[in-house]
Structure 1
Amino acid sequence: MTKASDLFIQCLEQEGVEYIFGVPGEENLDFLDSLSRSKQIKLILTRHEQGAGFMAATYGRHTGKTGVCLATLGPGATNFVTAAAYAQLGGMPMLMITGQKPIKKSKQGRFQILDVVRMMGPITKFTHQMASSDNIPSRVREAIRLAEEEKPGATHIELPEDIADEQTDSVPLTPSQVRRPTADAKSVRAAVTQIEQAKSPVLVIGAGANRSMTSRMLMQFIEKTGIPFLTTQLGKGVVDERHPKFLGCAALSSGDFVHRAVEASDCIINIGHDVIEKPPFFMRQKTPDMDAGPTVIHISTRTAEVDPVYFPHIEVIGDIANAMWQIKQDIVPNGGWKFDHMLAFRQAEVDHTTPLEQDARFPIFPPYLVRAVRDVMPEDGIICLDNGIYKIWFARGYTAYRPNTVLLDNALATMGAGLPSAMMSAMLYPERRVMAICGDGGFMMNSQEMETAVRLGLNLTILILNDNSYGMIRWKQANMGFQDWGLSYGNPDFVKYAESYGAHGHRVTSAEHLKQLLAETGASKGVHLIEVPVDYSENDQILNIDIKTLSKNL
């Protein structure tokens, strides 16, 4: 016979779990004791359950394997809610384990007790209360299977105290070997025919292509056909953005250079589209007085989720890399394809952005900041963005060379995830440079995790973009004609704040000083925080683009 909590740990070990992130409580003590004897799984004690959830989700994002996090009942479980939604919308495999009071005999009434299983229902793929220790192997296997199955997401298991202490003769289940199905040959042929007959096809690379790691096959397709490509924010880096056929990233909702390039296409090959992202283009229904617009080909592991602006004409469903290989093998490049107009929009964006990147004013101008960060980051360096107006700047202007080197959240778009995400990246890849880029508002939502980063001995640079306000909402407030009110605040002395945790604190005093600090911290060990005063005053003028006045080529 085996104690149930020991069996739970054995099941997680069988699944290849390496870490459990969390804040244990009284109801987790049996589980914690069993975990202490594991030779495979390491407990990462965080300072808040939300930080633990963000770290577990980021582990899933990087590896494709399930990240695991732990909390107690009641307030511990409720603190997982934002992280659960973050993983669920963002397609990151994660398993949350929460404790609960005894379910067979209660001695404390309803103290701290919430129906956590029902609470987790709308924001997870699977949620279950363990009512019998004999079911632990099958429930753990199912939770992890569903977390990793396309589309990946969050799962949850509640382990009550009395169940954790039971004895059972159950044993762990072995994970099955699974491969994604291949696309149907007729759908592949229909897609090939449509692309060959098009005048100006274009590739749009979305979130699902990043999860499926399609980089090599997409590059081969682009090299064979010469068809230009753009990305969504969650598709950044799938194909090296230094490629001459790269058109840009859809960081704004509409009207940007890259959207004009898409409008010049008559056939959009949409790879790994996920409706959680802001659409990179808008479809329209054909009416008597309006053309239907371009043909849209949906290539993904899942059929298209239709909404008012997305209803594709052809769907190729199966493993994305294999589907692209089939299309690449079958397609005959059309010598009549025209891409000059699309590429001219990309050149217009480069011409527009390059002078802005040289603007060395102080406080720091966002395009200058993006260029400075790109210049110091190695090819495999990882930047992890929190949520704010600067996310648009980095999505548009930061050239991604490899998959998962630009981690941003264009799904839940929550504040507070930047630092924990960077911490997880630094743990997984200690040989690579990792940088968290956070607004002052988002950073303070989980700034306590600096202690965790220092305790773990991580090598990490944290940029705090300081404008003493919730800057993105303040910008929108002004754009919508409201008075400037209710969004400004004061900040701590960030240098002293970092030092109080045992980290190194720095404050930028000029544009040149920013470059110097970025270089110095990259060559140093430990956790470095750099406070960067920023100037968002010209967001309007730069992001609201009149392309006709900016490019003589169009």
Structure 2
Amino acid sequence: MTNGAELLVAALENEGVQKIYGVPGEENLRTVEALRRSSIELVVTRHEQAAAFMAATQGRLTGRPGVCLSTLGPGALNLATGAAYAHLGAMPMILITGQKAIRSSRQARFQIIDMVSTMKPLTKSSRQIVSTSSIPAIVCEAFRLATEERPGPVHLELPEDVASEPADGYPLVESSAVPLPVAAATTLDQAAELIKQAERPLVMVGAATSRPRLGDDLATFLARTHIPYFSTQMGKGTVSGTPDDKITDLWLGTAALSERDYVHRAIDRADVIITIGHDTVEKPPFLAGRGPHKIIDIGYTAPHIEEVYVPDIAVAGDVSSSLFRLGNRLEGQLPNASALLGMRDDIQARTLAGSDATTFPPTPQRVVADVRAVMPDDGIVALDNGMYKIWFARNYRTAVSNTLLLDNALATMGAGLPSAMMAAILYPDRRVLAVCGDGGFMMNSQELETAVRLGLNMVVLVLRDDAYGMIRWKQAVDELPDFGLTFGNPDFVKYAEAYGARGTAVSRTEDLVPALNAAFEGGGVHLVTVPVDYSVNVRVLVEELRDQLDWADDEGEA
């Protein structure tokens, strides 16, 4: 006889789920047993937060929801940060939590938290399953909601007694694909007319361009129009292109700061900015009120109006369709398309300055350059959250879409290692590197054991400054005393070895590239640690931009 937990697992199989990440508990043992007898692999993690980050990253990279599992109360609460990570980052995922029986209360209020209410503001939908008959429809609807624009997490709670309840005779529900709506032709006409009139057009690619469904359509649009582009942090690496197809020749840089970086010279000069897939959960890539920009927003849904973002034209609908139809209206009709392209070489030269520094500890610019040197075009770099994220956003070049994974929405620490683990599971034949600060790494470092147990091939680069480096930088910028942000660290080599991984400590700048290459070539899980010199943060990102950046037009710019 089938029970509720078995029907739930069958419905998950029906949705194509192959792996579930999580931590078993007393209240989800029926679900765990159903998984044991199913085709779905249960990947046991060492903390529920890591399971949620892994499930969210699966959704981000594949477009299909990853699934994570926990028990009630404390285990379920540990999923909350991962739910927020997926919610702000628009990553489809399903969270399944256990609960005490709802028809009796033999343990009174022990461990009981109202997780349905707790998860509501962190998800697209949060609901308790109260009868087995509803399970097939609820699961089908959960997957639809999770993948529907704007994607995100959906939470389902399965109480113990419903999990044990007989569930024979309830057929599974087959989902059907729902085509995305397309933008109105009149709106596309208005957008095309404004772009044709532009003297200095510019494209910005944002977080939503990372959707797998967008494929090569973004690169095709840029190739057809020849308009230079820049990216937001989460839009970085979403345009596939090689030097051979000239797409990368149109890239001006990444807006890792909100203003007054070198790339903002082009942004401030632009008279029409076409934003593609911009999501205002990101820290603003530019302040829309600063200049005379006209903004055309191309997105899957209508844009959110913010103090720093008020589009003049909103093109809402399937972005692939919008780009194709807009390209038809613009191709060969933009004599000023490349007006800002003359600024590219100077912007990039100034941005990349210091990448060849030979001092030890290495500067963050040198670390980024060395990582780029060891990663093939299809290699995946997953960043945790820290000071280095700004440097990778500014300086790291990509040629294949979705090969630089960073979070500029929730911007939580602790996600880098689990995200890299998920990438290594999905792409076992590609080089995968987690880049973590010592602070963020230690927040989920226990997952090294999970990575070793799963037999993953991946490298973890831990940048050590013995401090919460980004906040220390902010403290210095605000001219506050250096206080409260330093800590001690373990011997990272011995720490990795204790989990069954290998470890290497780099003690010379010129040894970082050989150490990373050797780690990849050796296979398995390998941790490489190197100190980093963040003394350049204030000088390069504040003082030089303030004192040396010439905002006057350079000869031949436009």
1:355 deviates by 4.3
- AA partner of residue 57 (structure 2): T
Moved more, 464-473 or 223-232: 223-232
Partner of residue 222, structure 1: 222
State the alpha-carbon separation in 2 of the partners of residues 336 and 400 from structure 1.
28
2:100 is the alignment partner of 1:95: no
Task: Please state if 1:33 is matched with 2:33.
Answer: yes
| CA distance 1:513–1:550, change in 2 (3 Å) | farther
Corresponding letter in the other structure for 1:487: L
Could you tell me how far apart the structure 2 residues matched to 1:161 and 1:60 are?
28
Contact preservation (8 Å) 1:477, 1:484: yes
3-state SS in 2 of match to 1:233:
coil
Look up the match of 2:201.
Answer: 201
Is 1:464–1:531's contact at 8 Å kept on the other side of the alignment?
A: yes
Regions of 4+ moved over 6 Å: 549-552
| 1:29–1:413 distance in 2 versus 1, CA, 3 Å | same
Q: 1:138 aligns to what? A: 137
Amino acid paired to 1:547 = L
Deviations 1:28-79 (A, max 9, x none): 111111110112x110000000000000000101110010000000100110
Q: Gaps spanning 5+ residues in structure 2: where?
A: none
* Structure 1 partner of 2:549: 547
Shifted more, 500-509 versus 275-284: the winner is: 275-284
What amino acid maps onto 1:548 in structure 2? D
What is the aligned partner in structure 1 of residue 301 from structure 2?
Answer: 302
| Shift in CA distance, 374/177, structure 1 to aligned 2, threshold 3 Å | same
Alignment counterpart, residue 250 of structure 1, candidates 227, 252, 255: 255
Q: Higher mean Cα deviation, 215-224 or 476-485?
A: 215-224
Counterpart of 1:512 (choices 499, 510, 515) is 510
User: CA separation of 1:213/1:237 partners in 2, compared to 1, >3 Å: closer, same or farther?
Assistant: farther
Q: Give runs of aligned pairs for residues 177-326 of structure 1, distance below 5 A.
A: 177-211=177-211, 213-240=213-240, 243-284=248-289, 293-326=292-325
- Residue in structure 1 matched with residue 469 of structure 2 by the alignment: 471
Deviations 1:221-254 (Å, cap 9, x if unpaired)?
Answer: 2222211011111111221465111111111111
* Range moving further from structure 2, 1-10 or 378-387: 1-10
Instruction: Write the letter of the residue equivalent to 2:258.
Output: S
What TM-score results when the alignment is normalised by the length of structure 2? Answer: 0.95
Check the 8 A contact 1:196/1:332 in 2, yes or no: no
Return the alpha-carbon distance in structure 1 between the equivalents of residues 347 and 363 of structure 2: 18
Q: CA deviation at 1:551?
A: 10
Structure 2 letter corresponding to 1:214: L
The one of 386, 393, 396 aligned to 1:395: 393
Report the alpha carbon displacement of residue 510 of structure 1 after superposing the two structures with TM: 0.5
Which amino acid is 1:414 matched to?
T
CA distance in 2, matches of 1:198, 1:30: 62
Once residues 316 and 535 of structure 1 are traced to their aligned partners in structure 2, the CA distance between those partners, rounded to angstroms, is 44
The alpha-carbon deviation at position 353 of structure 1 amounts to: 4.1
Secondary structure, counterpart of 2:382 in structure 1: strand
Equivalent in 445, 448, 451 of residue 447 of structure 1: 445
Q: CA deviation at 1:352?
A: 2.1
Measured after TM superposition, the shift of residue 165 of structure 1 is 0.3
The DSSP-based 3-state class of the residue aligned with 1:96 is strand
Displacement of 1:335 in angstroms is 5.3
- Counterpart of 2:408, as a letter, is N
Instruction: Give the CA deviation at 1:258.
Output: 1.3
SS in structure 2 of the partner of residue 463 of structure 1: strand
Distance in 2 (alpha carbons) for counterparts of 1:367 and 1:90: 26
Distance in 2, Cα, partners of 1:516 & 1:439: 20
Aligned to 1:73: 72
- Report how far residue 212 of structure 1 moved: 5.1
User: Residue in 1 aligned with 2:327?
Assistant: 328
Q: Matched residue of 1:70: which SS?
A: strand
Partner of 2:336: 337
User: Match for residue 154 of structure 1?
Assistant: 153
1:462: which partner in 2? 460
- Give yes or no for contact 2:54–2:421 (8 Å, CA) kept in 1: yes
Partner Cα separation in structure 1 for residue 115 and residue 223 of structure 2: 50
AA at the equivalent of 2:531: P
Change (3 A) 1:215 1:347: farther
Query: Cα distance 1:73–1:548, how it changes in 2: closer, same or farther (>3 A)?
Result: same
Q: 1:30 to 1:326 in 2, by over 3 A?
A: same
Note if contact 2:265-2:551 (Cα within 8 Å) is conserved in structure 1.
no
Equivalent AA in structure 1 for residue 259 of structure 2: S
Q: Structure 1 CA distance, aligned partners of 2:38 and 2:228?
A: 50
Query: 1:191 & 1:338 partners in 2: Cα distance?
Result: 15
Give the partner amino acid of 2:265.
R
Residue 259 of structure 1: how far off its partner (Å): 1.6
Query: Is 1:418 the equivalent of 2:420?
Result: no
Identical positions, percent = 50
1:356-400 CA distances to partner (integer Å, 9 max, x unpaired)? 111011011111110110011011000000000100000110001
Deviations 1:528-549 (A, max 9, x none): 0001100000111111213229
Shift of the 273–265 alpha-carbon distance from structure 1 to 2, 3 Å rule, reads: same
Counterpart for residue 49 of structure 1:
48
Distance 1:139 1:428 in 2: 27
CA distance in 2, matches of 1:542, 1:68: 42
Contact 2:95 2:153 in 1 (8 A): yes
Q: Which amino acid aligns with 1:363?
A: P
C-alpha spacing 1:498/1:332, structure 2 compared with 1 (3 Å): closer
SS at match of 1:257: coil
User: Is 1:443–1:464's contact at 8 Å kept on the other side of the alignment?
Assistant: yes
Aligned pair 1:385/2:387, yes or no? no
Contact 2:196 2:334 in 1 (8 A): no
1:552 is displaced (CA, Å) by: 6.7
In the alignment, is the contact (CA less than 8 A) between 2:228 and 2:337 conserved in 1?
no
Letter in 2 for 1:245: L
TM-aligned CA deviation for residue 274 of structure 1 = 0.4
Shift of 1:338: 6.2
**How many Å apart are 1:213 and its aligned residue?**
4.0
Q: CA deviation at 1:284?
A: 2.7
Q: Distance in 2 between matches of 1:507 and 1:120?
A: 41
Please say if residues 7 and 171 of structure 1, whose CA atoms lie closer than 8 Å, have aligned partners that are also in contact.
no
Partner Cα distance (1:449, 1:90) in 2: 22
- TM-score, structure 1 normalization: 0.96
2:89 partner letter: G
Post-superposition shift, 1:282? Answer: 2.0
Asked if structure 1 preserves the Cα contact closer than 8 Å seen for 2:136 and 2:171, the reply is yes
Distance in 2, matches of 1:317 and 1:504, equals: 49
For the residues of structure 2 that align with 1:507 and 1:463, how far apart are their CA atoms?
10
CA distance in 1, matches of 2:550, 2:176: 57
The amino acid of 1:189's aligned partner reads: D
Output one character per residue of 1:461-498: Cα deviation in whole Å (capped at 9) or x when no partner. Answer: 00000000001101111111211111100000000000
